[in-house]
Amino acid sequence: MADIWSDQARYATWTEVEVLATQAQAILGRVPESALNDIRSARVPSVAQVVAHERERDHEILAFLAALCEGIPEDSARWVHLGMTSYDLVDTAQGSTMARACDLLLGAAVRLRAVLADQAVAHWHTVCIGRTHGMHAEPTTLGHKFAGFAFAIDRSVRRLRAARSEVAVGTISGSVGTYALIDPFVEEYVCAELGLGVEPAPTQVVARDRHAQLLHVIALLGGCVEQIATEVRLLSRTEIREVEEPRPAAYQGSSAMPHKRNPTSSERLVGLARLLRGYSGTMLENVALWHERDLSHSSVERVVLPDAMIVAHYQVSAATALVAGLQVFPDRMRAAVDLTNGLVYSSAVLADLLERGTERERAYRAVQAAADGAGSGDADFGTLLRAQGVDVGPLRPDRFLVHHDVVLKRLESLRELED
């Protein structure tokens, strides 16, 4: 991902756009074939070449064009950039770059979705306690947790694909988007060759709401990864320790406390999600440009676009490694289910009483009284209910998982999706 956004890669893409534009002009008969051949043969300028020219010109695109034309005979060089303005080059090339970056990020997100789905199936029957408000609620399974995360990433994949189609556009339409000095065929040809759409009503630039949408989608993807990482962090706490991050043999968690096994990988993923949310807000500021354009968006995009894509790709890739190597402790999970002397079965008991015809308030109070006693350590929940004459039958987690496989069927359809 970093290579895609490097200065040298940018100049390579700019060169490609200039060559394609010249090819289109040659098809129209505006550029001699000999000049086209010379321009095709030109080498991509080096970063050092462009920097040297930029010191004199204080304009990166003009510096690039000067460096590109160094290797082209003078009679042919005059046909480079014919009828184009700077952002015909920059935005069209950037559309191509963002398409490639989105494809790389999509590949990483699809891999994370697959790993989550696989873990969901592998732990579909690994019973654990569900928690609401941080408190014990009802039994669930670790597989169900993973399934929820898998579907969240799937939604992110679909959002990212839609955002990719919005940013994968270009424009070669002149200084204010009216095609005053260039035939629209040049734009159609170049964008088709690059696999890009065309901005339907250009100004001097591609509309920046497209980029804002992409960054919003990336921030949402980061938030979904953060949710996974937060669950791992919470379940890794000493008093819970139901899961643990994968560790290398030489792992050291603290410079002072050798016993520490900190969830640092998960914490890192949470921090990166905060960065992505910040980038999203910043990109929204680029939507409203003055008239046909101003330059306020440029400095922002030079930082935010590569950084956000690199951060997102790293975050998703690191999350995949975390989920794939996660250590799971089923015995700790089952112990947590049994920790509260049967209190987690209160909703099942209440439902049974209501089905038998007991009045709701009376049933609720009876169950609540037994729960309060069990919570105080008087006896286990079932014993206290039986003392009230309530026949509870066996209290087992499978009481809550009768229809659980309906989610598994949905998950199987997710696993069948192609990359």
- Residues forming the active site: 133, 254
Share of the chain residues as helix, strand and coil, in percent rounded to the nearest 5 = 65, 5, 30
Distance CA 5, CA 312 (A): 14
Distance CA 165, CA 282 (A): 21
* Residue whose token pair is 């050092």: 48
Q: Which of 343, 355, 348 is nearest to 383 (CA)?
A: 343
What tokens does 10 get? 């940018």
151 Cβ contact partners less than 8 Å away, ≥ 6 residues apart: 410, 411, 414
Query: Is residue 230 a contact partner of residue 152, using CB atoms and an 8 Å limit?
Result: no
The rounded Cα 269 to chain-centroid distance in angstroms is 11
Dihedral sign of CA atoms 61, 67, 72, 77 in order: positive
Q: Is residue 166 classed as helix, strand or coil in its secondary structure?
A: helix
Distance CA 96, CA 147 (A): 34
What tokens does 221 get? 């993807």
What single string gives the DSSP state of each residue in 34-70?
HHHHHHHTPPPPPHHHHHHHHHHHS-HHHHHHHHHHT
β-pairing verdict for 197-198 and 169-170 = parallel
Query: Is residue 20 a contact partner of residue 11, using CB atoms and an 8 Å limit?
Result: no
Cα separations in angstroms, 276 against 21, 99, 160, 174, 216: 35, 19, 14, 33, 8
Q: Which of 261, 268, 240 is nearest to 142 (CA)?
A: 240
Q: Which of 409, 324, 14, 387 is nearest to 194 (CA)?
A: 14
**Phi and psi, residue 129, nearest 5°:** -90, 135
